[in-house]
Amino acid sequence: MIVGKVVGSVVATRKNSNLLGSKFMIVEPLKEMNSQGGRIVAVDNVGAGIGEIVLVALGSAARIGCDMENAPVDAAIVGIVDHSVGLMDE
């Protein structure tokens, strides 16, 4: 799981049938957690907005976390961070 900031959204009118009704957000992992090498697109089932800090599950945990076991999902926003201690201090 990684922590990141929502920096945008993606609209896809044509997609896999298992993704119909899904909202997609662009997430930028925090600097200290950016082993992925850049921004990621994540399915959002928790209602995150641009500018919010979120928890993102990756891989098979993403599919399980958003209850989409049969969908081609590799990243899912599974929580919105309300408060953290030491995580975002620079």
CB-based contact 77:54 (threshold 8 Å): yes
- pLDDT tens track for 14-59: 988 888 888 999 999 987 655 656 899 999 989 999 999 999 999 8
- Asked if the model's pLDDT at residue 87 lies above 70, the reply is no
In terms of pTM, does the model score above 0.85? no
Q: Which domain holds residue 39?
A: 2-10+23-80
Q: Is the dihedral of CA 26, 62, 70, 45 positive or negative?
A: negative
Q: What is the DSSP letter of 71?
A: S
Q: Is residue 53 part of a domain?
A: yes
pLDDT attached to residue 32: 63
* Domain count within the chain: 1
Q: What is the CATH number of the domain that holds 62?
A: 2.40.50.220
Residue ranges of E strands in 1-90: 2-10, 23-29, 40-44, 53-58, 75-80
